[in-house]
Amino acid sequence: MVKITAKGKDGRNVVVLGLSHRNLDKLRADGLNGFIKVIGAEIGIDCDILITAAETEAAIAEGFKDMIGPQTDVKVSDRLKQ
């Protein structure tokens, strides 16, 4: 994985997380319980990031159901709501 932090031309902060095919293969093999954790402090941000993948958004939600609580804020892409 490649982790990049930068300033965009518009002055906004940008974080790039580049996954190799090997990273993607591991996510596929690990199924619903698979994720890659990026420690935010390593790239100068104040939160950690979990990267996951699954066949559907519902499968992703199922895989993280134990982490979802009353203070969880879930956003679904507008493209997926249509």
The distance in angstroms from the start CA to the end CA of the chain is 32
Per the structure, how many domains does the chain have?
1
* Rg of the Cα atoms in the chain: 15
Domain range for 39: 2-67
**Domain presence at residue 20:** yes
pLDDT in tens, 22-77: 999 988 888 767 889 999 999 999 999 999 888 888 888 788 888 878 888 877 77
Task: Report how many helices (DSSP H) and strands (DSSP E) the chain contains, helices first.
Answer: 3, 4
Residue 18 carries which DSSP code? E
**Domain presence at residue 80:** no
